[in-house]
């Protein structure tokens, strides 16, 4: 599904971790005017890892923005970022935590985004917290539309260490 204004400026992929997140994303996007070209996908990094790798390798292009959306142990934004980095894709990745206010599912999703080592996934620069719920998604899209989405933080490589003992 594509949401697009005739003045589309950015290619944005919204990746839902589950189809249960889709209705909330669609309702949010339908609630305001959008300039960016938005494509919506449902790919679980836990249930469909090969499909996610294929999506990042073949569909995500340099300059694109990818937003991982979901609840619970929301590994999706971090996994998307890791594979994009692996494939040397120049993309920005953000995450939006979903869930009932005060629930463990929401807290887990927020922490899954906020506690990534080095914070390679874009979070709210003002609060230092993950974008959360429909309002967080709306804010991210508006930042993208206004050309105000911050850059990703530089990554630091760490050497792999196998069979240490």
Report domain extents, the chain: 2-145
Q: pLDDT tens for residues 25-79?
A: 999 999 999 999 999 999 999 999 999 999 999 999 999 999 999 999 999 999 9
d(CA 71, CA 85): 23
Could you tell me where the beta strands, DSSP code E, fall in the chain?
2-3, 11-16, 37-42, 65-70, 92-97, 131-132
Q: What's the half-sphere exposure (Cβ side, CA atoms, 13 Å) at 60?
A: 30
**CATH architecture designation of domain 2-145:** 3-Layer(aba) Sandwich (3.40)
d(CA 2, CA 13): 9
The predicted structure's pLDDT at residue 6: 39
The predicted structure's pLDDT at residue 10: 65
The predicted structure's pLDDT at residue 141: 96
Which strands, in side-by-side order, build the sheet including 92-97? 2-3, 37-42, 11-16, 65-70, 92-97, 131-132
């Amino acid at each position: 599904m594509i949401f697009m204004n005739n003045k589309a400026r950015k290619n944005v992929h919204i990746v839902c971790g589950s189809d249960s997140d889709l209705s909330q994303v669609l309702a949010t996007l339908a609630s305001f005017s959008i300039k960016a070209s938005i494509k919506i996908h449902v790919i679980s990094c836990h249930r469909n890892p090969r499909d996610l790798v294929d999506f990042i390798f073949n569909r995500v292009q340099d300059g694109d923005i990818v937003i991982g959306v979901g609840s619970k142990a929301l590994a999706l934004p971090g996994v998307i970022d890791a594979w994009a980095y692996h494939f040397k894709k120049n993309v920005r990745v953000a995450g939006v935590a979903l869930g009932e206010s005060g629930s463990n599912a929401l807290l887990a999703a927020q922490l899954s985004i906020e506690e990534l080592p080095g914070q390679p996934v874009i979070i709210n620069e003002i609060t230092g917290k993950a974008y959360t719920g429909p309002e967080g998604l709306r804010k991210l899209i508006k930042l993208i539309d206004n050309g105000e989405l911050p850059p990703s933080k530089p990554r630091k490589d760490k050497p792999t260490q196998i069979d240490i003992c």
